Each structure stands twice: as C-alpha cells, then as structure tokens.
Amino acid sequence: MDGDGHPAGRKGEGLVTGDGIFRPGGAAADETYDVVIVGAGPAGASAAIYAARAKLKTVVLDKAPSAGALAITHKIANYPGVRGEVSGLELLNTMRRQAADFGAVFVHAPVQGVYVEGDLKEVFTPEAVYRGRALIVATGAMERATKLPGEDRFLGRGVSYCATCDGAFYQGKEVVVLGDSEEALEEALFLCKFASMVHLVVPGKRLLGVAEDHLPEQPNLRYHFQHRPLEVVGDGRVEGVAVKDPYGARKLIGGEGVFVYLSGSKPSTGFLGGAVPVQEDGYLVVDEEMATPVAGVFGAGDVRRSPVKQAVLAAADGALAAMAADRFLHGRQKMISQR
Ligand SMILES: Cc1cc2nc3c(=O)[nH]c(=O)nc-3n(C[C@H](O)[C@H](O)[C@H](O)COP(=O)(O)OP(=O)(O)OC[C@H]3O[C@@H](n4cnc5c(N)ncnc54)[C@H](O)[C@@H]3O)c2cc1C
C-alpha cells in the first residue's frame, strides 16, 4: 500500500499520484459531456473550474497527473495569492480539487486521438471514447523534439508508445521502458503483467513526480537510473537499447520491445493527428479567445505559443478557453464574465 492506502502496483488507481482526485482510465465514459478537457495542468484545471462552475458537464483527461510542467516544479513562489513554499503538485491538486468541488470529473487516461468534425467531439483513450460538445486542448509542451536513432525504423515493429495497446505482444519476453516520469513507471508496471523482465531506463537520478521512497518493487522490474538511452538497436528486429551508464560506458540493455516515454519541451499536439491545425513547430493555432480554427475546439496554456511559459498565464488561458467554450455552447456573441 502507498501512503494514501492505495494498493501498490495497480495502474490508474492513484499509486503514484496518490491524490484521490483521478478516477481510473475508462471511468465515466458513458456520459456525453459539454466539455472534454485534455490535460490537467494549470491550464486544464483552471478551464475545469470555470467550465464546471458555469454548470457545464465537464470531464478532464490526463495521462500522467504528476508529470506535467507544473506538477514537476519543486517549489513555486510566484503564483499570485499563494504565499510561502508550495510544490507545483500541491498547488495543482488544490486547483483540481476546486474544479472537482464544482462537479468536474477527472480521469487518468492518455488521449491518443480525436475526431472533431461533427457536433460531438470524440476523444480516444485506450479504454474508452469520451464525447463532448466542446473540446479544450491543454496538454502543455513536454513532448520530445528529437527521436532516438532506430526509434522510427522500428516503430510498430518493436518500438511502441503505448503499453496498454501493445503490452500483450510481449508475454514471457524482456522489454525496455525508456522514461523519466510517473507515466513511464505506470507503463512499466503494466508491462510487468506480461513480460518476463521489464527494464526501466531512467536518464536522470529520479523519476519526475515520483517520490523516491515510493518506488514500487516487482520481481520482474529492474530500474536503471542514470542510464542515458543512445539508440534502439537491432537487425531486422529489436534487440534492445544502447545506453551510456553512469560511468560513461556504452552497454546494451536487451529486450524485444522498447516502450518510449521520455519528455522534452515540444508542444504535445501529436495526438491530434492533424485534426486541429498546428504551427510548423507543433504549437496549437488559437485566436485571442483561445478558439482554434475548428468550431468547438479550444486550446490553452503551454500548448499554444506565448512569449513566456508561466503557470499563472496557463491558468488565465484555461479560464478564457472555458468561457469561450461556454459561449460557443450557448450561442452567445460576446464573452460574459462570471461572477
Ligand atoms: C522545471 C519547471 C519549473 C517551472 N517553474 C515555474 C515557476 O516557478 N512559476 C511559474 O509560474 N511557472 C513555472 N514553470 C512553467 C509552468 O509550469 C508552465 O508554464 C505550466 O505548467 C503550463 O501549464 P499547462 O497546463 O499548459 O501544461 P502542463 O503543466 O505541462 O500540463 C499539461 C498536462 O497535460 C497532460 N497531457 C499531455 N499530453 C496528454 C495526452 N495526450 N493525454 C492526456 N493528458 C496529456 C500532461 O500529463 C500534463 O498533466 C516551470 C516549468 C518547469 C518545467
């Protein structure tokens, strides 16, 4: 059990976040929502506060609630109204609870695709499809800009980004998970159900957003901290990942499957698959009211280009996006402020 009494090693039950706010993947998908929000960082959480308070039926989907930019911020001291030392995750969970108090539902689920052409927007996760009359994209900018050598070559043939989708192919086999976040740990734990051995390769000294004394143990899970992935190696099929160990030596960590969950600083818009226009470098195209060119689809926070990336600005974006969504849903011409 973890500190909050959640059973250890189970996906989607708050093992890592332990915050009790998020429901497991697939939950609450049988409803039709007014607003589906993707991303529960300050932009998504703030959008959820404004949407739910305006009595819009709201669901927020997040793939890794402790791994967004604010969630991994050790200490934040410049968020207006919050004095003293507070971690990014504490601040964020306060925002999320505030939204939940107004009725927003939070679900722990990775969004892998969207269909936005109809009046009802469809949002695809491994376990369920969520439907809403408006969609707010608030997925931040922590995607990777560059890929590992070999990653593209073996994509779909040994390299995967989704343990839920591909894990069962590796029954009784060794796999390698590359990542630096809670998401990577969760996916590694999920893969432990199938693989004979899961090697979790972490470039740094710790997993972002995961307390060091909360690292789950499994007989078939091995952690490799301070091992920097260099390339996916294979000849026709994946044989493993070449890494640089903490002493600078190159070595091979063997596995027939490689699951990649590394983070960087690129906008997280890949899952949109071109359904919503993005700029050349992936930033979402939005107007001053956070509306994208697709009717009923809005964007907020680091996922859109802004002169600086700060939590207070992301939260402000979220508020604007929710009010614009409300306006869209009720056919109003002018933005009406909430009281
Ligand atoms: C190390 C660091 C320190 C910082 N320090 C400060 C500071 O002191 N003060 C300050 O104001 N700002 C600070 N910032 C900036 C601030 O954290 C960001 O500007 C802010 O968090 C952006 O909010 P966001 O909601 O747009 O994105 P994020 O906070 O990154 O949240 C995005 C969320 O979307 C989720 N997501 C992404 N893709 C998907 C998907 N496909 N499906 C489901 N969910 C998805 C992620 O899991 C994440 O929870 C810091 C940033 C970093 C990285």
Residue owning the nearest CA to atom 20 of ligand 1 = 311
Test site for ligand 1: of 70, 72, 74, most ligand atoms within 8 A of the Cβ: 70
314 CA → ligand 1 middle, Å: 8
For the cut 70, the answer to whether the pLDDT of residue 11 exceeds it is no
Cβ neighbours, 10 Å, residue 8: 14
Which residue's CA is the nearest one to ligand 1's atom 21?
70
Q: Are 152 and 234 a contacting pair, CB within 8 Å?
A: no
In whole angstroms, what is the distance from residue 230 CA to residue 338 CA?
51
* CB neighbourhood size of 228 (10 A): 16
Among the listed residues 9, 133, 142, 135, the one whose alpha carbon sits nearest the alpha carbon of residue 64: 142
* Tens-digit pLDDT profile for residues 67-114: 899 998 888 999 999 998 899 999 999 999 999 999 999 999 999 999
What average pLDDT does range 218-239 have in this prediction? 96
Asked if the model's pLDDT at residue 331 lies above 50, the reply is yes
Separation of CA 29 and ligand 1 centre (Å): 25
φ, ψ dihedrals at 223, nearest 5°: -90, 140
Q: Which atom of ligand 1 is nearest to the CA of 303?
A: 26
Mutate to test the pocket of ligand 1, among 46, 60, 73, 93 (most ligand atoms within 8 A of CB): 73
Q: What pLDDT does residue 2 have? A: 31
Mutating to test ligand 1, I would choose from 22, 75, 139 the residue with most ligand atoms within 8 A of its C-beta, which is 139
In angstroms, the CA 339 to CA 326 distance is 14
Nearest atom in ligand 1 to 75's CA: 8
Q: Which residue has the tokens 């706010």?
A: 21
CA of 63 to the centre of ligand 1 (A): 13
Q: Are 72 and 209 in contact (CB under 8 A)?
A: yes
The pair of structure tokens assigned to 335 is 């933005």
- What's the 35 CA to ligand 1 centre distance in angstroms? 20
Say if CB 165 and CB 186 are below 8 A apart: no
Report the b/e string of 266-302 with b at 16+ CB within 10 A: bbbbebbeebbebeeebbbbbeeebbbebebbbbbbb
Residue 135's pLDDT is: 98
pLDDT exceeds 80 at position 9: no
Indicate the pTM of the whole model.
0.85
Judged against a pLDDT cut of 50, whether residue 1 lies above it is answered with no
Q: How far is CA 324 from CA 40, 100, 310, in A?
A: 18, 20, 21
Length in residues, the chain: 339
Taking alpha carbons only, the member of 240, 244, 249, 192 closest to residue 216 is 192
Half-sphere exposure of residue 100: CA atoms within 13 angstroms, side-chain side: 16
**Ligand 1 surroundings by CB, under 6 angstroms:** 38-44, 61-65, 67-73, 76, 78-79, 110-111, 138-140, 142, 268, 271, 301-303, 309-312, 314
Residue 218: both structure tokens together: 């499994």
What pLDDT, on the 0 to 100 scale, is given for residue 277? 96
Taking CA atoms only, the protein residue closest to ligand 1 atom 33 is 39
The tally of CA atoms less than 13 A away on the side-chain side of residue 205 is: 0
pLDDT of residue 5: 30
The answer to whether the beta carbons of residues 243 and 251 sit under 8 Å apart is yes
Q: Is the pLDDT at 19 greater than 90, yes or no?
A: no
Q: How far is the CA of 44 from the centre of ligand 1 (A)?
A: 10
Least confident of 145-159, 231-245, 247-261: 145-159
Residue 4's pLDDT is 31
Which residue, by CA, sits nearest to atom 44 of ligand 1? Answer: 62
∠ CA 238-215-174, rounded to 5°: 20
Strand ordering across the sheet containing 174-179: 159-160, 257-261, 174-179, 197-202, 221-225
- Give the pLDDT confidence score for residue 72 in this predicted structure: 86
Instruction: State residue 334's pLDDT score.
Output: 58
- Partners of 198 in the β-ladder: 175, 221
